[in-house]
Amino acid sequence: MDDKVVLTYPPASAEEVQLGWHELKLRVAQLEAEHAVLEHDAKLLRALIERVIEHRQKSHGELVLLLSGLVSKLPINDIGVVISKLVEHNAHVNEVCAALLRGRADAPLPQASVLVALDQVKRDLAAAVKPAVEELIRLEPSLEKSLLASLIEQPGNFFLPAMVRANRCFIKGQLPKERILREFGEAALIFFNDLTTDPKLNPRPKPDEIVLAFKSDFEALFQQNPTLLPDTRDALFALYKRIQRTKLLTDPHRAQKNAFLRLSFVLELLHYYENQGTESPEGVFAQRLPVLIEQFVIDGATGTIDEKLIAPAESLLAFIIALDYRLMVINNIGKAGAAGKTLRYVLRLRAEKSPEQNPFILSEVVPEFVKHLVPPPPQKPPPVAALTAILRLIPSDAQRLVARGVMASDRMRREEAEALGRTLGQELNLTRLEGEVKATAAVAPEVERQLAWDQVKELIERRAEPAVIASAIRDRLHARYDADEVKQSWLILIEADVISLIRTFCQLPYLADGSTDPIVRAVMETYVTRLTHVKYGVTYSKVVNSLKNMFKAKPDSPTLLNFISLVKWVDAEAAHKLSVDIGLSAAT
């Protein structure tokens, strides 16, 4: 091991210390001054960083709120999912910023109004489940009370296979076999018919899928077997009576059905809002909920609208947050009968606060409602009393619009239509109808033209189906066909997004019966000429880029091929130019 060498210096003398003291004192003072300056600069820098991070937190939160408000207005299906991701991202940014400062998040996170409304609606729906279940149990349906009671704590049980089968059996007046075996045993099967097992079609069904129905001579068999089922005999007969009541169109049955439909609506909507990432909105708002509303309001015994149930139906619709989805439910009512179609128009007009200021109501809903109310000749117009009863279901401003529409209807002679409209006005206490109709008819041509194209523009802004937009353009050109109208239709059309322009162009020639409109070829020829003109180069570039993307994604896209074919139909040179610019000719 090496020996350590320790170097020693001789101690400084008093004279040396006195000579270096002043210099050492100056250096220490200089270092202290520099340290104070650096400490001051560090504090200023930290304060600046804190201000920047705090501003970043606030500005990012405001940006998330703005984006959430914009996203909530878009017609997309997963709005809630998108906004949830935005808020989650904002929370992460807030946590990182807080970690840079103090290690914890002090500033409250901003919450989007859509999410606030969604949380509130989910709470309201969950709170509505218990009274709905208790009301249905009180009405003594044929459903098992234990299954119904479980929905209060677990609303998701409504979608379990056992509950789905029980609900289906309740609607049809049947019973699951598994329930009969559980409550009454094998001996009770002699009173039932097996509706599931079939020697040819379904010889070996699953045991939990077999459905039973009481035999038509149940009461006679029940009397013939007095010793059978001694412990559960009364319960079986009571169940039989409940099943029989569900088959009668009486008030108790109607109350049971309404309570069940109300509960089903609440649970369907709650399930959708809790599972928006996996549930399709079309299946809920276009298929299941419209049927529930229609069955709820329309009386099955008479096939008419129950006026007392319109307001409860509207309260159910009010649970739907997005207006587009609410209108989707209303617009899909009435596919099975005339009463449902009437209900659709009634709910649509009642949902509009100012129908006279909505071009879509004036141009689409009211005329279609009048066509529904007044059948075409040679059928006679409905009695005034029947029309009055229907119009009393809608607000007074909507009544006025419909009465004016009846007076201007082309399904009757002018004198008959005006007389019917006047009578409706007298019954509904509507005054000055004739003056309003004449004023509407006396509108200046320029104003009338502007209003007509504003309605088409409204359809484009509302993202209506291309076939509907094309039909509106054709109708206007048929009503008034000249160069100015064709030009105006083109200017309106290029204001739409490029995909809507392409799809509307593809739908333009075809009438509802599949035939070709005779005037459209000249119109489309004008469109193609304008599209390829240098003046509309920006529109042409957008169309080419969109078609090029279609070609890259799917070379045999029907929209792409149809568009090129229609352009070739009216102008072969323009179609060749388009094909070259898209790259279609090179591929072929």
Distance CA 211, CA 410 (A): 53
Q: What is the pLDDT of residue 585?
A: 61
Q: Name the residue among 535, 541, 544, 542 with its Cα closest to residue 564.
A: 544
Low-confidence residues of the chain: pLDDT under 70: 1-10, 12, 17, 53, 55-115, 432-448, 585-588
Looking up tokens 């003046």 gives: 535
Distance CA 473, CA 452 (A): 9
> Are the CB atoms for 559 and 514 separated by under 8 Å?
no
Looking up tokens 């008093």 gives: 14
Q: What is the pLDDT of residue 108?
A: 53
* Whole-Å CA distances, 210 to 143, 158, 196, 235: 16, 19, 5, 21
Cα 424 to chain centroid, rounded: 35
Contacts 24+ apart (CB under 8 A), 353-361: 354/397, 355/395, 355/397, 355/398, 355/401, 356/397, 356/400, 356/401, 359/451, 359/454, 359/455, 359/458, 360/455, 360/458, 360/459, 360/462, 361/401
H or E segment to which residue 465 belongs = none
Q: Name the residue among 292, 291, 268 with its Cα closest to residue 280.
A: 268
Backbone angles phi, psi at 6, to 5 degrees: -105, 120
Amino acid at 370: V
Q: Name the residue among 140, 240, 224, 222 with its Cα closest to residue 180.
A: 240
pTM here? Answer: 0.62
Distance CA 508, CA 521 (A): 9
**Is residue 30 packed enough to be buried (19+ CB in 10 Å), middle (13-18) or exposed (0-12)?**
exposed
175-176, strands of its sheet edge to edge: 175-176, 211-214, 192-194
> Are the CB atoms for 86 and 64 separated by under 8 Å?
yes
> Are the CB atoms for 354 and 360 separated by under 8 Å?
no
User: And the tokens for 139?
Assistant: 């009405």
* CA dihedral (195, 197, 202, 204) positive or negative: positive
> Are the CB atoms for 563 and 522 separated by under 8 Å?
no
Q: Name the residue among 374, 446, 384 with its Cα closest to residue 408.
A: 374
Q: Angle between the 233-246 and 251-274 helix axes, to the nearest 10 degrees?
A: 90
Distance CA 249, CA 227 (A): 34
Q: What is the pLDDT of residue 264?
A: 93
Task: Show Cβ contacts of residue 516 under 8 Å, excluding neighbours closer than 6 positions.
Answer: 509, 510
Distance CA 547, CA 555 (A): 10
In the three-class reduction of DSSP (H, G, I as helix; E, B as strand; rest coil), residue 563 is classed as helix
* Cα atoms in the 13 Å half-sphere on the side-chain side of 13: 3
Task: Show Cβ contacts of residue 350 under 8 Å, excluding neighbours closer than 6 positions.
Answer: 310, 314, 393, 394, 395, 398
* Partners of 176 in beta bridges: 211
Residue 229 DSSP symbol: S
Looking up tokens 């792409």 gives: 560
User: And the tokens for 506?
Assistant: 């593809």
Q: Name the residue among 454, 460, 497 with its Cα closest to residue 476.
A: 454
* Whole-Å CA distances, 13 to 17, 25, 28: 6, 18, 22
> Are the CB atoms for 548 and 583 separated by under 8 Å?
yes
**Is residue 169 packed enough to be buried (19+ CB in 10 Å), middle (13-18) or exposed (0-12)?**
buried
Residue 287 DSSP symbol: I
For residue 205, is the peptide bond before it cis, meaning its omega torsion is within 30 degrees of 0?
A: no
Q: Angle between the 396-407 and 384-391 helix axes, to the nearest 10 degrees?
A: 140
**Is residue 424 packed enough to be buried (19+ CB in 10 Å), middle (13-18) or exposed (0-12)?**
buried
Residue 226 DSSP symbol: T
Distance CA 283, CA 77 (A): 12
* Partners of 193 in beta bridges: 213
